Amino acid sequence: MALGAARFERRIRFLHDLAEEVRTVADAMGDAEARRGMFVTARAYERMAEHLEHAAEHLSLPITLSPRLSP
């Protein structure tokens, strides 16, 4: 089943939001190793979103995400 532009957009936004939530949790963690692991996880979610953004661009889908304030 092919994904339309709106579904791509929702999934991209979901992954960016999930990454932000993971970073917020990581910021509150006291254990440095656990915090580092959470930041690695957040970066993985961001990379997944970036891959979807590039796929949408390659497929010429009209994705109109609002600008991100943080990475």
Using the Cα atoms of residue 7, residue 46, residue 20 and residue 33 in order, give the sign of their dihedral: positive
| pLDDT tens sequence for the chain (71 residues) | 456 888 888 999 999 999 999 999 999 999 999 999 999 999 999 999 999 989 888 888 777 775 554 44
Domain ranges of the chain: 5-58
* 8 A C-beta contact, residue 20 and residue 70: yes
pTM over 0.85: no
